[in-house]
Amino acid sequence: MKTAGYALGALLGFAGLIFLIAAGQGNVAPRVIIGIVLLGGAAYMIYLARSKGPEVKVTHKVDFTGDTELQELRCKSCGAQLSSDAIEMREGAIYVKCPYCGSAYQLEEKPKW
């Protein structure tokens, strides 16, 4: 898609230049207008190809590791700070298994992050 955008942009730019050159041979006004429109289209195509457009991969980071806000999460039984290892996602719910006191429970409330 990206290369197609560049190719189309190059094609439009080339056609635009031809019209501008042809304008020198007479019938100036319409040829200049068409040439400028084509060059504008070429610039737009190249701009679209350069910009990421709708094909951008949307990466949802559901990964708990490296989440700094997770440091706020503490075991509700013993108050120990829980690492990402203590947290498990199951059926959309967050389960906590405390490695210190061994208590396991589901987080009913949304954590503070």
- Choosing from 47, 100, 105, 113, the residue that interacts with Zn ion (CB under 5 A) is 100
CB of 107 within 8 A of CB of 95?
A: yes
Place of tokens 């910009």: 51
Site for Zn ion in 24-83 (CB under 5 A): 75, 77-78, 80
Q: How many CB atoms lie within 10 A of CB 19?
A: 19
CB of 98 within 8 A of CB of 82?
A: yes
**Helix ranges, the chain (H):** 2-23, 28-50
CB of 97 to Zn ion, least distance (A): 9
CB of 66 to Zn ion, least distance (A): 22
CB of 64 to Zn ion, least distance (A): 17
- Choosing from 42, 86, 96, 98, the residue that interacts with Zn ion (CB under 5 A) is 98
Which segment (10-18, 32-40, 42-50, 97-105) binds Zn ion by CB under 5 A?
97-105
Which of 1, 2, 37, 3 minimizes the C-alpha distance to 17? 37
Chain residues in the site for Zn ion (CB under 5 A): 75, 77-78, 80, 98, 100-101
